[in-house]
Amino acid sequence: MFLHGTSRINEAGHLEIGGCDVTELKAEYGTPLYIMDEQLVRRRAREYVDAFTASGLGFQVAYASKAFSVMAMCRIADEEGLSLDVVSDGELYTALQAGFPAERIHFHGNNKTPDEIEMAIEAGIGCFVVDNLVELRLLQAIAASKGANVKILLRVTPGVEAHAHHAYASTGQTDSKFGFDIGNGSALEAVRLASDQANLQLLGVHSHIGSQIFETEGFQLAVERIAEFTRKVKEELGIDFPVVNLGGGFGIRYVEGDTPLAVSDYVAAITDAVKTHFAGISDHLPEIWVEPGRSIVGDAGTTLYTVGTSKEIPGVRKYVAVDGGMTDNPRPALYESKYEAILANRANEAGEETVSIAGKCCESGDMLIWDVELPKVNSGDLLAVACTGAYNYSMASNYNRIRRPAVVFVQNGQSDLVVRRESHQDIIANDVVPQRIAKQPVTK
Ligand code: LLP
């Protein structure tokens, strides 16, 4: 298994992350356990900030909190000077409760509810990314009723098909549920309308072309198309865009064969394209915003499991089951995503058998990894799956009423609990048994 960030094999032959031996983390917190390498998260955040600073352009790096939204992560994003992208009242609430400055929060989504819009305006967030005309009218009406002036970007689809890891992760093409299409004229119409709304201040446009992208071409093409559009808007409507938001989607290495670029290379490709294509459209180059999620937290996460049962089917394969699965990592079942693993308590031993890692859900699709080479695996061994920091905890479920794991941050030999493990009590916390069918007075 590739060792990311501060991960290393220590003298005892155990996996160690952030200076913490994972066998000790298991003893303290139990398994399954999400372990986040705090130093690596901060390093990734700084790589973005440093690369944009070097470009000389104005910028905001908004951490896409959908990748991993918990209060401690919002604190780190704030400390590192990032902005924050939220897509629901839940993500907004998390950020506000963590003390994240509202003016650096951007609200996304293709179906923001009136309640969400009110909550965000009352909190004083920095910007709405408006997805469609229904939302535009609703936002204007709510802003007017509150006497508020609200900054907006318009989400556009530049007609770029990014080479994302799965069709569900491509969003920049014309046939998408998101945004106003540039190609068919609806984006220009939206700009005309938006600039007419008394309580809305149009800052510019937003595009997000997909996720887990390894090449720069898609981003460069999006910049080119948006620049052409910006020129047209300027010529036909006399409107300038002070901001262009290019979304997220920067890829990371999950398994051998994944070939992400360095953060600085993605940023340089984007900022160079902006300098080339936006030159001369108006007096100033626009401020560039991006929204990385996966590439800030993905490779910093490791999930630690305890091995339970195994089953060998002679001539077919050996299944090894762990105490988690699709409930804490639905990505293999959803996208056929691939992961690497290591036997974390005997990490210095050579591979001896090829096994497939199964989860514990009542579902045959609940497989975490097919065919991974490990030392001979026994019950009670610890299995670490790497690169689980993004879209794992945030997409976890209670299927089969399995309790969601704890999350710890590790750094410099210290571990800090940032999400406690769900209890049995948590599992039934929202259940209500009507008295008429209750067997006994309900106690919780
Ligand atoms: N901005 C917008 C508008 C987005 O829709 C997304 C991701 C991002 C930024 C962040 O993209 P990132 O840098 O993380 O690639 N659940 C899927 C990924 C879905 C991505 C949705 N939007 C997965 O597990 O691969």
Could you read off the pLDDT of 378-408 as tens digits, one per residue?
999 999 999 999 999 999 999 999 999 999 9
Q: Is the pLDDT of residue 361 over 90?
A: yes
Q: How far apart are CA 22 and CA 3, in angstroms?
A: 14
| DSSP track, 207-273 | ---BSSB--SHHHHHHHHHHHHHHHHHHHHH----SEEE----B---SSTT--PPPHHHHHHHHHHH
Q: Is the pLDDT of residue 169 over 90?
A: no
Quick check: bond before 441 cis, omega within 30? no
The mean pLDDT value of the chain amounts to 96
- What length is written for the chain? 444
Q: What is the reported pTM?
A: 0.96
Task: Centre a 10 Å sphere on the Cβ of residue 70 and count the other Cβ atoms it contains.
Answer: 19
The structure tokens listed for 235 are 């010529």
Decide whether any atom of ligand 1 lies within 6 Å of the 170 Cβ.
Answer: no
CA distances from 428 to 168, 345, 432, 435 (A): 33, 34, 8, 16
Q: Is the pLDDT of residue 441 over 70?
A: no
Residue ranges and CATH numbers for the domains of the chain are 8-37+298-428 (2.40.37.10), 108-292 (3.20.20.10)
Residue 33, φ and ψ in degrees, nearest 5: -140, 130
Pocket mutation for ligand 1, best pick of 65, 211, 252 (most atoms within 8 Å of C-beta) = 211
Q: Apex CA 421: angle with CA 418 and CA 426, to 5°?
A: 120
Which atom of ligand 1 is the closest one to the Cα of 155? 3
Q: How far apart are CA 303 and CA 254, in angstroms?
A: 13
Nearest CA owner, ligand 1 atom 24: 391
| DSSP track, 179-192 | SEESTTSHHHHHHH
361 labelled catalytic: no
Q: What is the pLDDT of residue 176?
A: 81
Decide whether any atom of ligand 1 lies within 6 Å of the 338 Cβ.
Answer: no
Q: What is the pLDDT of residue 170?
A: 54
pLDDT digits (tens, 9 = 90+) for 280-318: 999 999 999 999 999 999 999 999 999 999 999 999 999
Q: What is the pLDDT of residue 163?
A: 60
pLDDT digits (tens, 9 = 90+) for 224-252: 999 999 999 999 999 999 999 999 999 99
Pocket mutation for ligand 1, best pick of 291, 295, 299 (most atoms within 8 Å of C-beta) = 291
- Kind of pairing, strands 150-157 and 200-206? parallel
Percent of the chain with pLDDT over 70: 96
Q: What is the pLDDT of residue 442?
A: 61
- Per the listing, tokens 């549920």 go with 177
CA of 67 to the centre of ligand 1 (A): 7
Q: Is the pLDDT of residue 157 over 70?
A: yes
Is the CB of residue 339 less than 8 Å from the CB of residue 324?
no
Q: What is the pLDDT of residue 167?
A: 54
Decide whether any atom of ligand 1 lies within 6 Å of the 291 Cβ.
Answer: yes
Q: Across-strand partners of 383?
A: 305, 343
pLDDT digits (tens, 9 = 90+) for 332-354: 999 999 999 999 999 999 999 99
Q: Is the pLDDT of residue 110 over 80?
A: yes
Residues 111-135 have a mean pLDDT of 98
